[in-house]
């Protein structure tokens, strides 16, 4: 079975593994003006990753975990808020209490490593994720972040098949920083995210595509419309 990545707009993705496991990241669906799906459209999930505690990233993570039985991965303080304020059951939380930056876990054959990210958040710290599928395919979701030099080390530790990078500016990397990040991470492919959703953000991936071709010509850039799916 082919693996696929579906963009839900903003920082939201659905990754389907070669063995059919479903990983959902930052699922802001209800209230998202660009969301291509409704919450009822999600019928199954195995893992839900939350990069940080802002409304446009927490989104419907708890709703999805409750309806599908998925395991939520997030830092302990964020998990604690989900449990006390949103009623997330402990059995739907990795290790029942969350995990932290630098930690790795294996959920149903999918290895998830939590990485640092540089941004603000209501609780805990901001994070990114390295996701290693059953066949070894490795995907990096940077979360909301500015560029940082240790992206180079992440690329060395975890050779990347695909990097999902914010390009929207104002709250995250702008297109130039994101293009430079490719020279540090050295992924085979990259996909832009966290743009278009609000008028204040970059409204197109065109600048990123142009700069990426200049800074990292060996990286394949994949630009999706909300709801589109990339298989590889």
Per-residue tens of pLDDT for the chain, all 232 residues: 689 999 999 999 999 999 999 999 999 999 999 999 999 999 999 999 999 999 999 999 999 999 999 999 999 999 999 999 999 999 999 999 999 999 999 999 999 999 999 999 999 999 999 999 999 999 999 999 999 999 999 999 999 999 999 999 999 999 999 999 999 999 999 999 999 999 999 999 999 999 999 999 999 999 999 999 999 9
- DSSP letter at 92? G
Phi then psi dihedrals of residue 106, to 5 deg: -115, 120
Rounded Cα gap, residues 7 and 1, in angstroms: 19
Rounded Cα gap, residues 104 and 126, in angstroms: 16
Q: Which of 111, 109, 84, 86 is nearest to 99 (CA)?
A: 111
- pTM of the model as a whole: 0.98
For residue 221, what are the domain limits? 4-231
Helices then strands, counting H and E runs in the chain, come out as 6, 13
Contact 209, 190 (CB under 8 A): no
User: Could you give the 3-state DSSP secondary structure of residue 220?
Assistant: strand
CATH of the domain at 95: 3.60.15.10
Phi then psi dihedrals of residue 73, to 5 deg: -115, 125
Structure tokens at 13: 């993705």
Rounded Cα gap, residues 232 and 222, in angstroms: 12
Structure tokens at 60: 């419907």
Cα 107 to Cα 67, 86, 119: the distances in Å are 18, 23, 27
CA within 13 Å, CB half, 213? 6
Structure tokens at 22: 């479903």
- Over residues 79-96, the pLDDT tens digits come to 999 999 999 999 999 999
The domain total for the chain is: 1
Contact 147, 163 (CB under 8 A): no
């Amino acid at each position: 079975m082919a693996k696929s990545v579906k963009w839900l707009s903003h920082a939201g993705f659905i990754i389907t593994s070669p063995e059919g496991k479903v990983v959902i990241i930052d699922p802001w669906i209800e209230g998202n003006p660009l969301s291509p799906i409704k919450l009822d459209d999600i019928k199954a999930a195995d893992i839900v990753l939350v990069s940080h505690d802002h409304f446009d990233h927490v989104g419907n993570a708890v709703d999805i975990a409750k309806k599908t039985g998925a395991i939520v991965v997030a830092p302990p303080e964020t998990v604690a808020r989900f449990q006390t304020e949103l009623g997330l059951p402990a059995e739907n939380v990795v290790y029942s209490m969350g995990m932290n930056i630098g930690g790795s876990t294996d959920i149903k054959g999918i290895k998830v490593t939590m990485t640092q990210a540089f941004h603000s958040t209501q609780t805990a710290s901001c994070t990114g994720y390295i996701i290693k599928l059953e066949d070894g395919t490795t995907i990096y979701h940077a979360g909301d972040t500015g560029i940082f030099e240790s992206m180079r080390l992440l690329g060395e530790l975890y050779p990347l098949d695909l990097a999902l990078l914010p390009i929207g500016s104002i709250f995250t990397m702008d297109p130039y920083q994101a293009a430079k990040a490719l020279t540090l991470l050295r992924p085979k492919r990259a996909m832009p995210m966290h743009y278009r959703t609000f008028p204040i953000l970059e409204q197109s991936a065109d600048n990123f595509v142009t700069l990426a071709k200049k800074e990292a010509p060996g990286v394949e850039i994949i630009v999706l419309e909300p709801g589109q799916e990339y298989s590889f």
